[in-house]
């Protein structure tokens, strides 16, 4: 397991409780009488060691990110793989397990060919 150290001090996870619930939520409290999007998940969703977790990123798009996508050259090719195998799973042509394995294998192959795993691809940042 790896993680980044953000320095001294703990992250403010902004825990809150909503009326009638015993659950503690990691988020700034929001009005429940207006439309909202909720994300459920563990550290993959909320980023235990990430200052701005995925839900905060999505919330920042409200002001408009018309064509958000990861900014690396292989993304269009990966998108094609996701579209193809996602559709096959949705139509029942392959099981979810088969489709997920195929998705993972094909994306790994794209990234490996591009040099992301052996260090030959220069870092963009």
- Residue 107: band (very low, low, confident or very high) from pLDDT cuts 50, 70, 90: very high
**What confidence tens digit (pLDDT) does each residue in 17-52 have?**
888 888 877 777 778 888 777 776 666 566 666 666
CA angle 53, 54, 60 (to 5 degrees): 95
* Average pLDDT across the chain, whole number: 77
Q: What is the reported pLDDT for 47?
A: 62
Q: What is the reported pLDDT for 20?
A: 81
CA-CA distance, 100 to 89, in Å (whole number)? 9
Mean pLDDT of 109-124: 86
What are the residue boundaries of the structural domains of the chain, listed by start?
15-63, 75-114
What count of residues does the chain have? Answer: 125
- Residue 121: band (very low, low, confident or very high) from pLDDT cuts 50, 70, 90: confident
**What confidence tens digit (pLDDT) does each residue in 67-96 have?**
566 677 888 899 899 999 989 998 999 999
Cα Dmax for the chain: 54
CA-CA distance, 58 to 69, in Å (whole number)? 12
Mean pLDDT of 95-109: 92
């Amino acid at each position: 397991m790896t993680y980044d150290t953000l320095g001294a001090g703990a992250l403010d996870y902004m825990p809150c409780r909503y009326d009638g619930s015993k659950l503690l939520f990691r988020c700034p409290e929001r009005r429940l009488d207006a439309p909202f999007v909720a994300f459920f998940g563990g550290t993959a969703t909320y980023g235990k060691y990430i200052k701005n977790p995925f839900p905060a990123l999505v919330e920042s798009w409200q002001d408009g990110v018309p064509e958000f996508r990861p900014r690396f050259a292989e993304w269009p090719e990966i998108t094609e793989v996701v579209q193809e195998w996602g559709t096959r799973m949705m139509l029942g042509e392959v099981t979810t397990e088969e489709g997920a394995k195929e998705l993972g294998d094909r994306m790994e192959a794209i990234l490996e060919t591009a040099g992301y795993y052996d260090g030959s691809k220069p870092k963009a940042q």
